[in-house]
Each structure stands twice: as C-alpha cells, then as structure tokens.
Amino acid sequence: MPFQIVRNDITKMQVDAIVNPASGLPGYGAGIDKAVYEAAGAEALYKRRAEIGRIECGAAAVTEGFALPARYIIHTVGCPWRDGLSGEENIIRLCYRSSFAEAAELGIETLAVPLLASGNFGFPKGIAMDIALSEIREFLDTHDLTIYLVVFDDESYSYSSERFGDIDAYIDSNYVAAVTDEEYGHFALPSTSFFSEAVKRKPSEDRRPERRKGGLFKSIRKSLEAQVEDTNDEIADFSVGASTDACSAPMMGMAAAAPQSKPAKRLEDVVKNLDKSFMELVFTYADEKGITDVELQKKANINRKAFSKLKCGTTKNPSKPTALCFAIALELSLDETRDLLARAGLALSPCSRQDIIIQYFIERGAYDMFAVNEALFAHGEPTIGDVEA
C-alpha cells in the first residue's frame, strides 16, 4: 500500500513508471508534458507516441521511458476546468483509474503521479487533491505497490491555509510555547501552565529557519505579546492542549471537531502489558481490534520489507515515523500512543511540528493516514510511512 506525497521534479523520480498528463495527439503541450518529452528525448518519444496515435480524454497509454530514470511513461489525457458541472471531475478520475490499470498491467512496484489537472487545466487545488487522494486510496486497497504523488511547486499548496486552518490554530496554540525559550531566552512572563517545563526543551538549531518561514515567528511574537497584556486569570485559562474552532476546514476522512475522549485504560490492562516489547504490544492491539497482519501493514503505510523485519525481530525497534504509523493504524488514543512509543525509547515532542500535527489527528480520533500525510506535507513536515523501519 505505501503512499507518499513528495516535492520533486517527476522527470527525476527513480521509479518504475511515471504518469504524464499528455496531449491527446502526438506532440507535447506546456508544463509537465513538455518537461517529460525534453527529459526523455523528444524525438524518440514523439516517434513512439505517433505510433500510438490519439488518446481519448480519460484514457491512458504506455511508452518506454527512454532517457528518463523511469522505465515507463504512462500518458493520460485530462481536460480543463470549466465550472465543475460539466463532468470534468469524472474525466480526471478516469485518468487516474486508466493510469493505475496500466501500472497494474505492467506489474511494476513503484509509480510516480503528478497532481493531475492542477496546472494548466486550472482545477482548484483542493478539488484536484481530493480526487487524487480518493483514487489513490481506492487503488491501493486492492493493489500492492508504492505510489508517489509528486508536487513540484509551492503553488500547489497555496490553498493550505483554507484547507488546514484548524490545524494551523492548533499548532500556534501548542508549538508556540515549546519554542518560546529558544526565541526569547530568559524573557520573563507570568508563571502558568503555558510555560510548563515539559515544553521548554531546546530544539535543534536547524529547525529555526523553517519555523520562521511562513509567518510562524510572527505568530509566536503576537501570542507572547497577547500573554503579557492579558490578566493572570486570563492567562491561567489558556491550555496548551486546548483545541480551537477557528478557521475550521473539513478534510477527507476527518472532522475538525473537538478531541474525542476514550475510556481510561483499566489498571489490569496496563499491568498486563508492562513487560511487552514494542512489536509485542503492536500485535496485542491488533489482535484486540481484529486487524490482520496484512491489514496492519497496509493501514500503517509501511512497505512489506520493513514490516517483515519488525515482525521477525530483524529490526528490534522502529524509527519514530514508523512507530507513529502503527499508532495511527491501530487507532490508539494519545496515552496509548505515548506508551507504545516509550517501548521503543521514543516520545512525542512539543518542539516538533510534525509530532504536534500528528497529535492533532490522534486527539480527534481522525486516523486517516492520507489526511495526516497531506497535512504534514502542506506544513513543510516530512510525511510518514513507506520508510525503512
């Protein structure tokens, strides 16, 4: 199942095949199609495309990759955005399905696909992303290969503030406290839960430029100034873990609602699991929830090789991203997630935006790996899954 969103030039992807948003007739248009022709060798690719002839809208055809790192190019023909009422979404869905069908026929293991119709065809970015994620999800439910959704430029995520406003507010209310000590040193503020010792850990220096990018530094300063001006009573009411309804934005498979609480674990359950290793606890949870090994591997967005190493004990403890994948796949509560991570000597960090975003989803009981990875990518954080354990 593994699926990743990556920022790259699709012509440079080291995969078995790439999908090219092509012209219906031999020859190339602007954008990705032109880049594919130039990187593959325009003359050789045009000659092969001429042999195929016309490709209908929504259909796909395969050529060799020629000079590309990829062995194959799957050409598919989309359509421009009109008004959303002219069947254009269905055509783009057909493009994904036709391309995936060709990939399955080729028997490949890795496929790179761009965000179809989001460029020159003018599809709204959010709609283009929803189509891509839903079609990729459906295909991977029944096929075992790795798909990379390749986004080349920042413009493709220019809509992220609309799509992830609720997460942005959550990051501001949680992450701002964790970086206060680094940005402002020993600047004194009233003693509250906002400045608990748990969030005063020193992040690595290489995170500072990334945090300041996109206005996050401004949001930190603004929040701090507001804290100074507020009364002590108002400050005491501020909770690091509180959620906000501001800028709420719906996402696939989750609702931007208040955190969902789960029943507290019984003492006997806690004691029973005390001596279990990371993977022993993973399989205990899986058995309790009736999740098979194959289902767990797919839901966790982990490739079979990495999963097998963990299962057989070749890899004793997982990387943190892999551990978080298991927590999401098993739909663990926040306390259960922390306990599971601790078995591998890991922990959720208040100084990591990646951790805070994942915590946001877990608190809300929103265990959609596709939505989690989309949110991570949109916020410039590494996605999780399809990694070596």
pLDDT in tens, 147-160: 999 987 655 555 55
pLDDT at 1 over 80: no
Residue 226 pLDDT class (50, 70, 90 cuts): very low
CA–CA distance, 131 with 306 (Å, rounded to integer): 29
Q: Give the mean pLDDT of the chain.
A: 80
pLDDT at 210 over 90: no
Residue 316 pLDDT class (50, 70, 90 cuts): confident
Domain positions in the chain: 3-157, 162-236, 267-378
10 versus 170: the higher-pLDDT residue is: 10
Q: Where are the beta strands (DSSP E) in the chain?
A: 3-7, 17-21, 60-64, 72-76, 110-114, 146-151
Average pLDDT over residues 23-42: 93
pLDDT at 127 over 60: yes
Are 145 and 103 contacting, i.e. CB atoms less than 8 angstroms apart? yes
Q: Looking only at Cα atoms, what is the longest distance across the chain?
A: 76
Are 385 and 3 contacting, i.e. CB atoms less than 8 angstroms apart? yes
Pick from 114, 106, 117, 29: nearest CA to 63: 106
Average pLDDT over residues 232-250: 37
pLDDT score of 191: 37
Q: Which CATH number fits domain 267-378: 3.90.1280, 1.10.20, 1.10.260, 3.40.50?
A: 1.10.260
Task: State the amino acid at position 372 in one-letter form.
Answer: V
173 versus 193: the higher-pLDDT residue is: 173
Average pLDDT over residues 302-322: 89
44 versus 219: the higher-pLDDT residue is: 44
What DSSP line would sit under 310-369, residue for residue?
HHHTSSSS--HHHHHHHHHHTT--HHHHHHHHHHTT----TT-HHHHHHHHHHHTT---H
Average pLDDT over residues 85-114: 97
Are 382 and 323 contacting, i.e. CB atoms less than 8 angstroms apart? no
255 versus 268: the higher-pLDDT residue is: 268
Parallel, antiparallel, or unpaired for β 60-64 and 72-76?
antiparallel
Compute CA 292 distance to the chain's CA centroid, rounded to the nearest angstrom: 24
What DSSP line would sit under 53-74, residue for residue?
----TT-EEEEE-TTSSSSEEE
pLDDT score of 313: 87
Active-site residues: which are they?
A: 33
pLDDT at 335 over 80: yes
pLDDT score of 202: 40
Question: Could you tell me which CATH class the domain 3-157 is placed in?
Answer: alpha beta
Under 8 Å CB-to-CB from 11, ≥6 apart: which residues?
Answer: 18, 35, 36, 39, 40, 68
pLDDT score of 260: 57
